[in-house]
Every structure is written in C-alpha cells, then in structure tokens.
Amino acid sequence: MRSDLEKILLDKIQSLSSLKNKVTTWQTAGKKVVFTNGVFDLLHIGHVTYLAKAAELGDKLVIGLNTDSSVKRIKGESRPINDQSSRAALLAALFFVDSVVLFDDDTPFNLITSLMPDVLVKGADYSVENIVGAKEVIANGGEVKTITFVEGYSSTSIIKKIKEREV
C-alpha cells in the first residue's frame, strides 16, 4: 500500500493527455496556468527560487521536464546525474508545483502548444523572441514572462565543484 505522500507525488506527475484535461478544467474554472520547463538535474536554491517566482505568476504551476534521453542529446552523455523519475518526484514534492509532465523532444514546443498555458515562463537569459512557444502563447491571449536567476547557482557549476574536490 502506498503512503499518502507517495500517492500525492505520483498524482502530480502526469501524462500529456491527462494533464491536457486537467489544464482545461483549471482554465474553465478561471485558474491562471503557468508553464515552465527544464532539466532540473541537481535541484538547488536557484531552481527553487525560480520556480517559486514562476508559481506566483498564476494559480497553477506546470513543469515540463526533459526526459533522460532528451537531456543526453542536449547536455551530453554524462548527463543527467539524476534520472527522470527522481527529478520528477523532487519537483512534485515542492508544494507550489501542481503538475510535472515529461517530454522527450529537444524543445517543449509540442507540449506548450498542446497545453496552451496562460503564462509561459523562462529564465531572463532568454529574450521573449527566442522563447520556444512564445509566439503561439501570445497569439492565444497568453503572456510570456522571464525571471532573473539567482547568481552563482547551476547544476553545471555544482558538478564542476564536485569534480574539482575529487582531484
């Protein structure tokens, strides 16, 4: 028998088809759905701060999470450090995250255009014109926001520090 916590975490991790229904239900009820995406390999304070700020932009926060094979194509064979199930469970454990959905493409374009969130969020290292799905979300009446990262935090820099200490 699953613990209540385990059930809550697993209920937040959705397939695209079930999440589409959930997003439609939320939007029909007048809830503002916020979407962001990423690898979230080694969860750190930069990630948590970014996601908390994203959650403040609406009523429901949905995270698109790159699958392991997608991460390998984007970041190289040595990544991810944590597998997709572990990364999804850690994100689902955050109280302000409402749903996590895995995607295997190199970009979340199909996911974004399927869900059509009210707010699309990326880091401030992107300009709105370069955010995948931005044009489609705006054309659908939504908005696109960028959030400044917490300086000095990235999974890549954490991995580098660990390797330096091993020597």
Architecture of 4-166 per CATH? 3-Layer(aba) Sandwich (3.40)
Which residue is associated with the tokens 């613990």? 3
Q: Which of 136, 132, 115, 118 is nearest to 17 (CA)?
A: 115
Quickly state the pLDDT bin for 166 (edges 50, 70, 90).
confident
% of residues, the chain, pLDDT over 70: 97
Quickly state the pLDDT bin for 2 (edges 50, 70, 90).
low
pLDDT digits (tens, 9 = 90+) for 15-68: 999 999 999 999 999 999 999 999 999 899 999 999 999 999 999 999 999 999
Predicted local confidence at residue 133, as pLDDT? 97
Alpha-carbon gap, residue 155 to 133, rounded angstroms: 25
Quickly state the pLDDT bin for 159 (edges 50, 70, 90).
confident
E strand residue ranges, 28-85? 33-38, 60-66
Under 8 Å CB-to-CB from 112, ≥6 apart: which residues? 35, 64, 120, 132, 133, 136, 137
Has residue 113 got a pLDDT over 60?
yes
| Strands across the sheet containing 33-38 | 13-14, 99-103, 60-66, 33-38, 119-123, 143-147
Alpha-carbon gap, residue 108 to 116, rounded angstroms: 12
Predicted local confidence at residue 3, as pLDDT? 74
Report yes or no: 103 and 37 within 8 Å, Cβ to Cβ. yes
Predicted local confidence at residue 12, as pLDDT? 96
Predicted local confidence at residue 86, as pLDDT? 94
Under 8 Å CB-to-CB from 102, ≥6 apart: which residues? 13, 64, 65, 66, 67, 84, 88
**Residue 13, strand partner residues:** 100
